[in-house]
Amino acid sequence: MVILKTRLPFLIFTFGVILCVTGRVMLLEKSRNPFIFPEALFLPQWQLKASNNLAKPIKHSELINQKHYRYVKHDLPLDIEMRYVNYFDVNKLIDKYTNISANPIVRQQKGIGYYGLLFDKQRAYLSACINPQGNSTFSYQQFKENRRLYDQREKRFLPWLLGEEIENNRCLWAHLSVPLNNSPDTAYKTLENASKSILTSLVSTMPRY
Amino acid sequence: MRFKSTQFWLLASLAGLITIHISLVWKSDRPSLMGTSILFWIAITYLIWERRYHLNLESDIFSSFLGFIIILPALIKSASLTSFGGFLDVLPFVFALGLAFIASGYLGLKQYKGELLALLIFGAPKFLPGWLAIYPLTAKLSAFILWYTGFQVTRSGNFIYLPTGSIEVAIGCSGIELIFQMLGLAVIFLLMFPQKLSLKIVVVIVACCIGFIVNGFRVAVMAVIANNQQAFDYWHDGEGSLIFSMIAVIFFGIFCWFFSGFVPKHNTN
């Protein structure tokens, strides 16, 4: 008899909880915290000429937010396109966001990570994905390997339940470019030197989850 | 009157849980999951509705509490609105299991075994062990389809090369998802129209084959359009992937229609 008496209130209570969650799920938008880009990047010897936040184009669903910077050293302009994206395969990102149709050379440097170098139509580019933990990556495999090293999923059931993303596939894609005056090697050297501080200094400012 | 009220609150809870799942899938940008979810929920609700006067809706305190404990974490996670991964695939099963405990208790669970099995199959593809990956077979089938339709195709392992572009058939393209979707539908079909065991096996095998073959065509189409990134994205993750799942469902529907026309209805109970 006790069961009969408590059953109805229990069912109504259960329904109440479900209704609250239904309301929340239907009304609220999924939020993705944007990355707060610094006003200027840490780039010794280079002078900041301009920086602007760009609006998010609708057709790219993986793009969370972006900012472009322009630096100058001895009349040589350096363009830096930073995009915070929910994607990590830099090859595909280059395909999708730029008109470059060259095959990148992937290099690795200790303490920095992997990056891709390529040139096309009078410009040389350096592209890499900055990760919240570990080194920068370029390919799909490098990203997954980096995450495997730093993610400890088993310890995060409670944070997961409360809404932290266990699959953090976001990366801060840095795409640097300089005009190509003579050989690509000189341009690559310039890009590599400039990228060193960018690829390392932003790591600590990224949200981990 | 009291019994009627119980029925009402359970139905309202089911409606709420379905709404939560559908809304989350809607926000997750997975068109193919959306189609399957709607199809499965309609079928399950229909099956339950048909039996509404025969269901035993009595539960004990322990089972009710257990059911609530099963649903609660899933509700908390749903309310967080983060990216979900495979969570959305298993959510229907978790919701249904919890609600079945609340509605009919541990002893009454067997009333819903068919529905629960269908929903378990619905969520299974995301959690299959690696050895079940059949993508090398998918690559062979797709290459064969392309060769048969007159393309100059070469295959090396999981890579399919055409003069216009090439693709790698990865785990995600293996068709396991479509096969399991068909398998779930087969279970639902067999719940609606009970058959004897040998015919059940036939239905299940046909369902799997339809899923596998339709996916083979999907991969073949992707190989042909590999050089067009926009079209590729559309057929790979966009509404295009939904179209192939619809084609498979339609084929299976036609098969079921003929099948139930030819085979006299078999009454198991």
What are A102-131's pLDDT values in tens digits? 888 898 888 888 999 998 878 899 999 988
Q: Any residues with CB less than 8 A from the CB of B249 and at least 6 apart, and which?
A: B35, B39, B181, B182, B185
The mean pLDDT value of chain A amounts to: 81
Q: Any residues with CB less than 8 A from the CB of A103 and at least 6 apart, and which?
A: A118
User: Strand B154-156 vs strand A123-130: parallel, antiparallel, or unpaired?
Assistant: unpaired
What distance in Å separates the CA atoms of residue A134 and residue A112, rounded to the nearest whole number?
Answer: 9
Q: Considering only residues A119 and B133, tell me which one the structure prediction assigns the higher pLDDT.
A: A119
Residue keyed to tokens 């084609």: B247
Q: Considering only residues B185 and A183, tell me which one the structure prediction assigns the higher pLDDT.
A: B185
Phi/psi class of residue A74: alpha, beta or left (left: φ > 0; alpha: ψ in -120 to 50)? left
Q: Say whether B80 and A18 touch across the interface (CB within 8 A).
A: no
Query: What confidence score (pLDDT) does residue A160 get?
Result: 62
Backbone angles phi, psi at A84, to 5 degrees: -95, 110
Q: Any idea what the Cα angle at residue B255 is, between residues B250 and B260, rounded to 5°?
A: 125
Tokens of B141: 């089938």
Q: Where are the alpha helices (DSSP H) in chain B?
A: 2-27, 31-50, 61-80, 87-108, 113-123, 135-148, 176-192, 197-224, 229-236, 239-262
For the stretch A37-51, pLDDT in tens is: 888 888 888 888 888
Tell me the average pLDDT across A139-157.
Answer: 74
Tell me the average pLDDT across B52-81.
Answer: 89
**Chain mean position to CA A196:** 17
- Please say if the pLDDT value at position B62 is more than 60: yes
- The fraction of chain B above a pLDDT of 70, given in percent, is 91
By the CB < 8 Å criterion, does A30 face chain B? yes
Q: Say whether A161 and B76 touch across the interface (CB within 8 A).
A: yes
Lowest mean pLDDT among A117-131, B43-57, B85-99, B231-245: B231-245
Q: Say whether A26 and B19 touch across the interface (CB within 8 A).
A: yes
- Please say if the pLDDT value at position A2 is more than 60: no
By the CB < 8 Å criterion, does A1 face chain B? no
By the CB < 8 Å criterion, does A72 face chain B? no
Tell me the average pLDDT across A178-198.
Answer: 86
By the CB < 8 Å criterion, does B10 face chain A? yes
Residue keyed to tokens 């359970």: B10
CB pairs under 8 A between A and B: 88
With cut-offs at 50, 70 and 90, classify the pLDDT of residue B83.
Answer: low
> What sign does the CA torsion over A157, A159, A163, A165 have?
negative
The mean pLDDT value of chain B amounts to: 86
Tell me the average pLDDT across B206-231.
Answer: 88
Compare CB distances from B229 to A24, A96, A160 and report the shortest one's residue: A96
Query: What confidence score (pLDDT) does residue A203 get?
Result: 78
**Per the confidence metrics, is the pTM higher than 0.90?**
no
With cut-offs at 50, 70 and 90, classify the pLDDT of residue A155.
Answer: low
With cut-offs at 50, 70 and 90, classify the pLDDT of residue B253.
Answer: very high
User: Is the distance from CB of B93 to CB of B180 less than 8 angstroms?
Assistant: no
- Please say if the pLDDT value at position A169 is more than 90: no
Query: What confidence score (pLDDT) does residue A96 get?
Result: 82
Lowest mean pLDDT among A178-187, B180-189, B205-214: A178-187
For the stretch B156-185, pLDDT in tens is: 888 888 888 788 887 667 788 889 989 999
Compare CB distances from B75 to A6, A17, A160 and report the shortest one's residue: A17
First to last CA, chain A: 49
Query: What confidence score (pLDDT) does residue B130 get?
Result: 65
Mutate to test the interface with B, among A10, A12, A21, A93 (most CBs of B within 10 A): A21
By the CB < 8 Å criterion, does B72 face chain A? yes
Compare CB distances from B23 to A19, A25, A162 and report the shortest one's residue: A25
Chain B nearest-CA distance from A139, in A, is 15
- Please say if the pLDDT value at position B269 is more than 50: no
Query: What confidence score (pLDDT) does residue B15 get?
Result: 96
